[in-house]
Structure 1
Amino acid sequence: MTGYFLYAFVYLVAAVIAVPIAKRLGLGSVLGYLIAGLVIGPIFGLVGDETVAIQHFAEFGVVMMLFLVGLELEPRSLWAMKSKLLGLGGLQLTLTTALITATALALGQPFGISLTIGLIFALSSTAIVLQTLQEKGLQKSEGGKSAFSALLFQDIAVIPMLALIPLLAIPELVAAGGEQGGGEAHDSFNLVDGLAPWAYGLVIISSVAFLTIGGHYLSRPLFKFVAASGLREIFTATALMLIIGIAALMGLVGLSPALGAFLAGVVLANSEFRHELEANIEPFKGLLLGLFFITVGAGINFSVLSENPMLIAGLTLAVMLTKAAVLFLIALIFKIKGTNKWLFTLSLAQAGEFGFVLLSFASQNYVLPKDIISLLSLVVAISMFLTPGLFILFDKAIIPRYRNKKSKRDQDTIDEKGTEVIAGIGRFGQIINRLLMANDVETVVLDIRSEQIDLMSRVGTKSYFGDASKPDILHTAGIHEASLMVIAIDNRETAAKMVKYAKHAYPNIMVLARAFDRGHGYRLRQLGADYVVSETYHSALEMGAEALRSLNVHPFQVERQKMAYKNIESQQNDVLYHAWADDSSGERVDNNYLKLFIELEALIENALKADLHDKHSKMRGWTPPPKGYAEELQPDEKPNNTKR
């Protein structure tokens, strides 16, 4: 028992150290898990033969992940993606299998071995790809959706692959296995061994029908019964029972547990218990997936790798390039454009975890020799290990390249001069520009985003494509003649550089700048900005006031507290700024600043709690409604709190 605790401790320590470091370096959690496994396995040898057994257990994380994916897809949504599912997924699987099979045949392998290799390498890693897409927020992009469609088709295709592989058995391996007393034992709980094809098909149809109908009609009464107990841990146990039961059922009839879990998730997508199921299963899914990735890294066999380094490197590179070429061709056929095309291509250019399942199954059924299996296992593992690197390539090389292409539009010819220059015509700059134009103030608006300029032109707002951080563009816009410059861009560093340049080159111009938060605002003020406002300050204050009004706090009390908050903030702002600016440590948040900030919070709290009648004389900017105003209104005359 102590040994299991030690192994668990080693895996957890490796994850706790490696994953946060990898995330901080921008490598992603998946690569962190893989590196952790590599360190505790092949490099330091802290874990051993138990890795394979743990990997089979950890594959249940993939089952949970597909269940959660299914929960996000209603049956209607799944039907809507049928063209991508069959088109993208079917074409990818067919072309990749054909190319890799042909290559293996050209290298002198028999047809049965060649086809098995083609099927194994046609699959991609559902676990790594979906996890990374989710982390990077790319699952809703066209490229992410296309990758998911292909992965889902691959997971479905595992079922006929498992049916086909035994038919490719090599007589010599069968004979050798018989002489040695048989190969690895088949699953003793498989109920479909020896069934006629028609009976096997009937069992599959019955299992899927039971899963669909039972999930729809039986799950709700079960969840209501469990929820009535009020015990969260029992609901968690019920969720785990459901997924484990589905996986067991699929295993009994020879189907993929992951596919069964996905179908169950789709069936329950409309359930009122969907969010509770997600919340209960998510932690288990994350831990098991992390454990699975660690075992992949720990399972890399350095002895086999050291004996055939060039062969394994060549095979891995050939497989990934072949898959990438097929995926790129499919992206062109289906007109997936821009960065989405490259996301689709790079994200699926690896072998997957189901490759290990097929390799084990091929070994059990005497389809592949042991030496080939050891080589192919390394190729699968290494290609998975390299996948996070492909996502980094996408982030660092592909996305900037397309951004640069978009920004290569020639700068507009600025043929107007104004008394105000506005840098940035996003949601922030638009409001400022409208107010000034409504008062007949002539403005020159610049923005680096060509699509935003085109959008503004369609709604009748004159703006120019140009980088306002460049001195020559500002000069062309007439900043030397302007009296005011508004910096409304959403880039911290660029905003700071623009404030510094404008106040240095044109000391007499007034600079109004948009800040992200208090610290950014202090920095802009230090660089010379005449007026700084945090982009969320006023909106948050107004939302807080609306929350009070919604809770039936008297409108006068709400306005009084808003004004009190503004007054205290304004009075203490200079004190806090000087404390921030005087911090010699460079951290800008020393003990003195923190002390003053705590004092500010206390002042605000005291002001907001002050007696209403003591503050009437100070309220000069707002006239309260007459006494009994709200009570005298008829129900249909009461004001609507909805902002328009």
Structure 2
Amino acid sequence: MEHDISLIANIAIAIVAAFAGGLLARRLGMPTIVGYLLAGMVIGPFTPGFVGDVGEISQLAELGVIFLMFGVGLQFSLKDLWAVRQVAIPGAILQMITVVALGFGLTQAWGWSFGASLVFGLSLSISSTVVLMRGLMDNGLLNTDAGRVVVGWTVLEDLATVLILVLLPTLVVSGSTDESSWVAVTTALLKAAAFIGLMLFVGARVMPWLMIRIARTRSRELFILAAVAVSLGIAFGAATLFGVSLALGAFLAGVVLGESEVGLQVGNEVLPFRETFAVIFFVSVGMLVNPLYLLNHAGDVLLVTTLIVVGRAVIALSLGLILPVSGRIALVVAAGLSQIGEFAFIVGQAGVMLGVLSPEQYALVLAGALLSIMVNPLMFRAVPYAERFFQRIPAFWALLDRHPPPPDPLAKSITEHVVVVGYGRVGEHIINVLKHLGVPHLVVEIDARRAAEFESRGVPTLYGDAANSEVLTHARLEQARALVVTLPDEAASEIVVAAAQDLAPHLPVIARAATTSGIERLTHLGARDVIHPELEGGLEVMRHTLLSLGYPAGEVQRYADAVRRDRYDTSISTPEEQQVLEQLLRTVRGMEIVWFTVGHTSSLVGLSLAEANLRARTGASVIALIRAKQLIANPKSSTTFQVGDLVGVIGDAEQLSALAPVVQGQPVAHRVDDNADGVTV
């Protein structure tokens, strides 16, 4: 008896086709989404060759929608939505009404029925949150004012979809306007409101508490299982018990967990599921499109696509003339909303099931969605050009840009900066040091809440996954001084390093490795310095051990540096390591380098090095001096001591003890280390 492996075959073919399509799209300089959509067309039922099971892949695509909306919810903040309510609420309502009217009028002119025209218009009125989020992330706009406005706008469209799906049978099916029908509608609305209230008031307390308890079991497997169970379980329960969409259920589950202390960890654990099934979602969309239909109805398809891309963008831009937004925000909103996606398919499918929309008419919705998704990345890229174009029309731009523009997500003047990918404990330390030294810096952070927090603290930040989007192209690596990759995920670090080499081949890259094999791979990909925290700690233990045994700090540091250059191979395998160890064996023990400060009452103040004659008086020799943070190695005999000078001397314990009373103070630092630039405290 043979096993039925059709599901495995469909998953395998879909992912392999998506990989090939995405790779080809990247080679051609196009977004990977375009490759995924074309891959779906290749394995769809309308093209020769392997034909995937549309039903099975569509169900897998539902998982993609669930995980994607769960991820959106994790990054979403009700405070952000409330902050943009004056723009998002009226904007979403007015645009949906206008688009429905245009779609309805167009299809009425074609002779469609009332119900079909209404469903068609409703389908065109709802943009894809999934496509929008990817576009904002790829262009480094998600954590900007424009990003928050357009995300709030689309979330309200998603919420409106629930109302549309509940009211649709009453609106489009003749004879369903009796009292019992409206009772059913009211019941459905009350159930949806009950679910939202249950999630926001009960789920917001129970779910974070549950996830924290599971995290304390210290079992990562249980935590991952719990995160997946929460996203899928609540989405399924919302659909079956309350009659709302799977997407809305998953979104609200993400919202209530995102506010908790485990929100970031949940997002990280669900990320692989989200990315994998999101790809299958786009493949499933491509499978529904018949290329022959596109060719045979090219005129209608082009007209519908123009209505979606140009019409929705123009409507959003026109609303910018009356809403309190800047010109740039209006342009970003127009670009982000110039597409339709998953909710358009849901509304269209509901119309087909109700018998008011024919499969051919639904195919027109699919074709318009496919083409609009393919064009959408180009709309984002056109924003700067459109801004410059409209600025050449002073009267129009003055009307559109009535409100002061927000700060640019990344100042165009930033240069000679250090880009830090990941803001964990390591990244935070680096940023603190760079800030203290006055070195320009930029953080690339995947967590939206943390990115917003960093920006509020004055840390320039780009939100996005540097290993999985175009956000790195907005970090201005070609003008940067260095790139520091502190990600704990080694695979993500390798992708970032490889991308950086393509964007800025001569940029110094410092990367963090999690394994010894990863050191070799990151070095091969172009990282100049690769740091392994655990092995680095071992080197420090070794260094301090040798120092405590009296070996000279300079030679010990040379050995540690040699091991680092040998990629942490501690087997003493290189000639340099052998030579340094031999020198350590020959060193004279008992000599120390110590720093003294010259106080206000020191007898050295005003004396030259020759006049002080410290070597004759104490036996200790002055080898360096630090003044105003500048190191003076081997100072000349004419150098005069000043108050606050740090004087580096070498000698044995007896000689240093004799020197202390001369300078009237105790050593201000411990034994010091040598480095490549000289002696430091």
TM-score category (smaller protein): 0.5 to 0.7
The 5-angstrom pairing of residues 480-495 of structure 1 reads 491=478
Change (3 A) 1:201 1:46: same
Tell me if the contact between 1:123 and 1:351 (Cα under 8 Å) persists in the aligned partners: yes
1:323–1:349 Cα contact (<8 Å) kept: yes
Residue 161 of structure 1: CA displacement?
A: 0.7
Once the two structures are superposed, the pairs formed by residues 65-80 of structure 1 within 5 Å of their partners are 65-80=68-83
Instruction: Trace 1:528-567 onto structure 2 (pairs within 5 A).
Output: none
* C-alpha spacing 1:46/1:273, structure 2 compared with 1 (3 Å): farther
- Residue 624 (structure 1) shift: 8.0
**Residues 555 and 584 of structure 2 are in contact (CA less than 8 Å); yes or no, is this contact kept in structure 1?**
no
Correspondence for 1:264: 253
Task: Pick one of 517, 521, 525 that aligns with 2:508.
Answer: 517
Quick one: distance in 1 between partners of 2:98 and 2:163?
Answer: 17
How big is the shift at 1:323? Answer: 0.8
SS at match of 2:43: helix
Aligned residue in 2 for 1:222:
210
- Specify every segment of 5 or more residues in structure 2 that has no aligned partner in the other structure, as ranges: 394-412, 419-475, 482-505, 511-526, 566-572, 595-622, 625-647, 657-667, 671-681
Contact 1:52 1:299 in 2 (8 A): no
| Candidates 68, 72, 93, aligned match of 2:96 | 93
Q: Normalising by the residue count of structure 1, what TM-score does the alignment of the two structures yield?
A: 0.61
What do residues 63-113 of structure 1 show as CA deviations (whole Å, max 9, x unaligned)? 222222222234433432332331332232222223333333344444433
C-alpha distance in structure 1 between counterparts of 2:260 and 2:138, whole Å? 26
Asked if 1 retains the 8 angstrom alpha-carbon contact of 2:66 and 2:232, the reply is no
Q: 1:33 to 1:613 in 2, by over 3 A?
A: farther
Distance 1:548-1:78 versus aligned 2 partners, 3 A rule = farther
Moved more, 19-28 or 365-374: 19-28
1:124 and 1:100 map into 2 onto residues whose CA distance is 14
- Residues 88, 146 of structure 1: 8 Å contact kept: no
Is there any run of 5+ residues in structure 1 with no aligned partner, and where? 175-191, 406-422, 429-488, 495-514, 520-535, 577-597, 630-636, 640-644
Does the Cα contact within 8 Å between 1:72 and 1:266 map onto a contact in 2?
yes
Partners of 2:255 and 2:542 in 1: CA distance:
39
| Map 1:381-392 → 2, pairs under 5 A | 381-392=370-381
1:371 and 2:374 aligned: no
Map 1:198-237 onto structure 2 (within 5 A).
198-237=186-225
For 1:579-634, what per-residue CA distance to the aligned partner results, in whole angstroms no more than 9, with x for missing partners? xxxxxxxxxxxxxxxxxxx96985899699999966958993445899899xxxxx
SS where residue 374 of structure 1 aligns?
A: helix
Q: Give aligned-pair identity as a percent.
A: 23
Equivalent position amino acid for 1:280 in 2: E
AA in 2 matched with 1:248: F
Cα pair 2:555 2:580 within 8 Å, conserved: no
Matched, 1:320 2:323: no
8 A contact 1:565–1:607 mirrored in 2: no
SS in 2 for 1:41: coil
AA aligned opposite 2:7:
Y
Aligned to 2:48: 45
1:8 maps onto 2:11 in alignment: yes
How much does 1:272 deviate?
2.2
| 1:348 Cα offset (Å) | 1.6
Task: Tell me which amino acid in the other structure corresponds to 2:360.
Answer: D
The answer (yes or no) to whether the contact 2:87–2:325 under 8 Å persists in 1 is no
Cα distance, 1:638–1:570 mapped onto 2, change above 3 Å: closer
Match of 1:57 among 33, 47, 60: 60
- SS of the aligned residue for 1:124 comes to coil
Whole-Å separation in 1 of the counterparts to 2:298 and 2:649:
82
Q: In the alignment, what sits opposite 1:346?
A: 335
Using the alignment, how far apart are the partners of 2:45 and 2:580 within structure 1? 58
Partner Cα distance (1:231, 1:608) in 2: 49
Going from structure 1 to structure 2, the CA distance change for 1:286 and 1:229 (only over 3 Å counts) comes to same
Deviation track 1:519-576 (CA, whole Å, cap 9, x = no partner) reads: 9xxxxxxxxxxxxxxxx999x9xxx99999999969999xx999679989999xxxx9
From the superposition, tell whether residues 608 and 93 of structure 1 become closer, same or farther in structure 2 (CA, over 3 Å).
farther
1:124 matched to 2:150? The reply is no
Alignment of 1:22 onto 2:25: yes
**CA distance, structure 1, for counterparts of residue 157 and residue 372 of structure 2:** 17
1:394-448 Cα offsets, whole Å, 9 max, x none, are 58x558989999xxxxxxxxxxxxxxxxx998669xxxxxxxxxxxxxxxxxxxx
Q: Which residue of 2 aligns with 1:278?
A: 267
Residue aligning to 1:329: 318
CA distance in 1, matches of 2:319, 2:576: 58
Q: Could you tell me how far 1:164 is from its partner in structure 2?
A: 2.3
Q: Which amino acid in the other structure matches residue 40 of structure 2?
A: G
Residues 359 and 373 of structure 1 are in contact (CA less than 8 Å); yes or no, is this contact kept in structure 2?
yes
Taking the aligned partners of 1:21 and 1:569, their CA distance within structure 2 comes to 45
| Aligned-partner Cα distance in 2 for 1:110–1:264 | 39
Matched, 1:251 2:254: no
Code of the aligned partner of 1:384: I
Give yes or no for contact 1:561–1:608 (8 Å, CA) kept in 2: no
Asked if 1:162 corresponds to 2:162, the answer is: no
| Secondary structure of 1:134 counterpart | helix
> How far off its partner does 1:223 sit?
2.4
Output the CA distance in 1 between the equivalents of 2:537 and 2:373: 51
CA contact (8 A) 1:66 1:262 kept: yes
Higher helix share: 1
1:239 equivalenced with 2:242 (yes/no)? no
Choose between structure 1 and 2 for higher RCO, CA contacts under 8 A separated by at least 6 residues. Answer: 1
CA RMSD of aligned residues (A): 5.1
CA distance in 1, matches of 2:208, 2:509: 49
With over 3 angstroms needed to count, the CA separation of the structure-2 counterparts of 1:424 and 1:553, relative to structure 1, is same
Q: Secondary structure, in 3 states, of the residue corresponding to 2:320?
A: helix
Q: In 2 relative to 1, CA 613–49 (structure 1 residues): closer, same or farther, beyond 3 Å? A: same
Following TM superposition, by how much is the alpha carbon of 1:202 offset from its aligned partner in structure 2, in angstroms? 3.4
The residue number in structure 2 matching 1:105 is 108
- 1:11 deviation in Å? 1.6
C-alpha distance 355-518 of structure 1, shift in aligned 2 (>3 A): closer
Looking at structure 1, the residues matched to 71 and 198 of structure 2 have their Cα atoms a distance apart, in angstroms, of 20
The 3 A distance-change label for structure 1 pair 317 and 224 is closer
Q: Deviations over 1:101-137 (max 9, x none)?
A: 3333344444433332221101112112212322332
Shift, 1:232, TM fit: 1.9
Residues 218 and 493 of structure 1, relative CA distance in 2, 3 Å threshold:
closer
Amino acid at match of 1:260: G
- CA apart distance, 1:237: 1.6
Change (3 A) 1:239 1:493: closer
Query: Which amino acid in structure 1 is aligned with residue 275 of structure 2?
Result: G
What is the correspondence of 1:594-609 to structure 2 with a 5 Å cutoff? Answer: none
Find the counterpart in structure 2 of residue 445 from structure 1: none
What does residue 633 of structure 1 align with? none
Does 2:289 correspond to 1:300?
yes
Could you report, residue by residue, the CA deviation over 1:298-343 in whole angstroms, capped at 9, with x for unpaired residues?
2211232233222222222233221111122123433544654433
State the 1:282 CA deviation: 1.0
Distance 1:616 1:562, change over 3 A: closer
